[in-house]
Amino acid sequence: ITECSPENQPSETEILQYGHALHVEHETSHALVDLHWRLGGSFSPLPLTFEELWQQHQSMPLLGASVKTFQTEDLLIYLCVHGAKHFWYKLGWICDIATLVRSQPSLLNDAFMARVKACGAERMVLLGLLAAKQYFGAPLPEVIWLRAKSDSTVVFLLEEVNQRLLTPSPDTHEHIGPRLYRRYLQLRMRERFRDQASLWLAIISSILRPTKRDREVLRLPSWASCLYYLVRPVHCIQRYGWRFLQNL
């Protein structure tokens, strides 16, 4: 949502239908809360659905109360996937990985890595673990460290993370680079072709999906609303030209 111009801001209905979270900010304290009904949207190759994650939750004490959270194994996968989605532009996300691994080093076993590989998140998890070891000295079994270092794409992505963490920028998205380059990095984080294809479809779908601005420019009856999907590309090319391609 933050990347959209005001005229392209999605409606509440579109957010609920196509999005995965609503970002709420308190008026006075400016405290932020993310209300999720999906985890990461089309980018997240999590092995469980939201309902399954909720059913097998665990409880932990927080400020004198008991709160529900993910099982540790699910939490580690989610933290790595979430950090990869945003390309680790916050050092605190890497610290979270290091703290979790340091508290339960036995978590990084063959069964865990087999599960990660099966759900298509191996490269994202290896990137998160490698970054946690590099920046915070998180313990990492040699077999996993060697697996991460042997994947040239993981090494390339870690170098990209290093470059952006060490190069301050006032704008998060400019800091990562043009949106087209961010899409390229997201694709590189997927090791399976079918996951790359799925992400491409999600990207194309988000581009072709009509916005509130499209509906204001051309008023169509409800029975002809499907035509907005044909009008949308023409409208974008007319208005934005090359800038539209950069925003893929």
Domain limits for position 193: 48-166+176-207
The verdict on 202 and 154 lying in the same domain is: yes
The verdict on 116 and 53 lying in the same domain is: yes
Q: How many domains does the chain have?
A: 2
pLDDT in tens, 71-118: 888 889 989 988 988 888 889 999 999 999 999 989 999 999 998 998
Question: How confident is the model at residue 10, as a pLDDT?
Answer: 60
The verdict on 88 and 198 lying in the same domain is: yes
Is 198 contained in some domain? Answer: yes
**Which string of DSSP letters, residue by residue, matches 151-213?**
-HHHHHHHHHHHHHHSS--SSHHHHH--HHHHHHHHHHT--SHHHHHHHHHHHHHHHHS--HH
What is d(CA 164, CA 89) in angstroms, rounded to the nearest whole number?
A: 7
The verdict on 96 and 197 lying in the same domain is: yes
The verdict on 180 and 242 lying in the same domain is: no
User: Within the chain, which residues score under 70 in pLDDT?
Assistant: 1-20, 38-48, 168-179, 235-248
The verdict on 235 and 146 lying in the same domain is: no
Q: Which helix (H) or strand (E) holds 52?
A: helix 50-55
Residue 74's Cβ-side half-sphere holds a number of Cα atoms within 13 Å equal to 17
Question: How confident is the model at residue 146, as a pLDDT?
Answer: 94
Tell me the two tokens of residue 109: 């076993």
- pTM of the complete model: 0.74
pLDDT in tens, 135-153: 999 999 999 999 999 999 9
Tell me the two tokens of residue 40: 């990461």
The verdict on 54 and 107 lying in the same domain is: yes
